[in-house]
Chain A
Amino acid sequence: KQEVTQIPAALSVPEGENLVLNCSFTDSAIYNLQWFRQDPGKGLTSLLLIQSSQREQTSGRLNASLDKSSGRSTLYIAASQPGDSATYLCAVKPSYNTDKLIFGTGTRLQVFP
């Protein structure tokens, strides 16, 4: 059974710091992995999608890497800003034939001025 874990559960950093959020999954046979942002009480905003054949994806100050063999993905946020404060969720699609996404419980990030 695929399980997704995110560490740390919460993180508080001063503005300007570079930071890394971690996501681990127990079964390395995944189809893709997606990172989302969620503001309090709101829906999910898709940040980056990494296919199983890819090693990383970049969008602006965000970079996500994927190491399938070790069951890990990291989300790197450069030069953090107070507007980055939110909960970050990773989700795996286990296989081509599986429709669902399996989510971690998220990392709650606070960036203070």
Chain B
Amino acid sequence: DAGVTQSPTHLIKTRGQQVTLRCSPKSGHDTVSWYQQALGQGPQFIFQYYEEEERQRGNFPDRFSGHQFPNYSSELNVNALLLGDSALYLCASSLERGLSAAFFGQGTRLTVV
């Protein structure tokens, strides 16, 4: 049983560019959440997708947007990248909007230069 998979694993972008990160949830999971983890910090909630809709959003600007597809996979898009967007981006999947345990992928390390 494949767990949560994220791609790419590493990415380097230039300030002002746009980036798309991808996530495939654990088999059978229907809910995908995205988190940003800065170095030495705990993950911070960006938003959650369930039934192809954004259900809740953390304290992140509109430059951060997402999408969920009918197969429950998800994308995170970040526009107009800033140096401060450099972080590990984690995708988590769960059942029924997080009522069950959350399972995380290995993350995408984004570096903005």
- Tell me whether B97 and A99 are in contact (CB under 8 A): yes
B40 close to chain A: CB less than 8 A: yes
B79 close to chain A: CB less than 8 A: no
Given contacts A98-B56, A102-B45, A105-B42, contact A36 B104 (CB under 8 A): yes
Closest residue of chain B to A98 (Cβ to Cβ) is: B56
Given contacts A46-B102, A89-B42, contact A99 B107 (CB under 8 A): no
Q: Which residues of A contact B101 (CB under 8 A)?
A: 34, 46, 49
Residue of B33, B105, B106 with highest tally of chain A CB at under 10 A:
B106
Q: Which residues of A contact B48 (CB under 8 A)?
A: 99-100
Q: Interface residue tally of chain B, by bracket?
A: 20 to 34
CB < 8 Å neighbour of B109 from A41, A46, A104: A41
Instruction: Count A-side interface residues using an 8 Å CB cutoff.
Output: 24
Tell me the residues in window 72-113 of chain A with beta carbons closer than 8 Å to chain B beta carbons: 89, 91, 93, 96, 98-106
- Tell me whether A34 and B33 are in contact (CB under 8 A): no
Given contacts A100-B45, A105-B41, A106-B42, contact A42 B102 (CB under 8 A): no
Given A49-B101, A101-B102, 17 more pairs with CB closer than 8 A = A4-B42, A34-B101, A41-B109, A43-B90, A43-B104, A44-B104, A46-B102, A46-B103, A89-B42, A91-B43, A100-B33, A101-B92, A101-B98, A103-B42, A103-B44, A104-B42, A105-B40
Q: Please give the residue numbers on chain B whose beta carbons come within 8 Å of chain A beta carbons, in ascending order.
A: 4, 6, 31, 33, 35, 40-45, 48, 50, 55-56, 58, 88, 90, 92, 97-107, 109
